Amino acid sequence: MGKDRRVLIEEVRHIAELAHIELTEEEEAIFTEQFNRILEYFSKIDEVDTEGVPPTYHVLDLVNVYRDDEVEESLGGDEPLRNAPKREGRFFRSPRIV
C-alpha cells in the first residue's frame, strides 16, 4: 500500500460480505473512516528513521517458564468425562461436522 492509499466504502462492503457481517450504511461509513485512520498511522510510522535499529519481535523481554516433568497418576474411570455434556461409553460425544 502506498502512502496515499485509502480504503473505499466498496472495499468495506466486500470485507463485510466475506466475513458474513451485515452493516448499516452508517456502520460502513464509520468503518471506512476507521480503516483510513489506521492507514494514516501506518504512514506516520513509515516516516520514522529506523536505520540501525534492530528488529523487535516483542515489546517485553519474555522467557519461557519451564517446570520439571514429574510422573503422576493419570485420571482413570469416569473422572475425565465427569463434566462432558455428552458422552458415549468412555468417549466424548461431539456434534457431527460433515
Q: Give the domain CATH number at 37.
A: 1.10.20
Q: Is residue 37 part of a domain?
A: yes
pLDDT for 57-89, tens place per residue? 888 888 888 889 899 888 887 888 888 888 888
pTM for this model (two decimals): 0.49
Asked, for residue 88, whether it belongs to a domain, the answer is: no
Mean pLDDT lowest among 7-16, 22-31, 88-97: 88-97
Torsion of the alpha carbons at 32, 36, 37 and 41, rounded to the nearest 10:
150
A 10 A CB-CB count for 45 gives: 9
Asked if residue 31 belongs to a domain, the reply is: yes
Residue 14 lies in a domain: yes
How many structural domains does the chain have?
1
C-alpha to C-alpha distance for 92 and 90, rounded to whole angstroms:
7
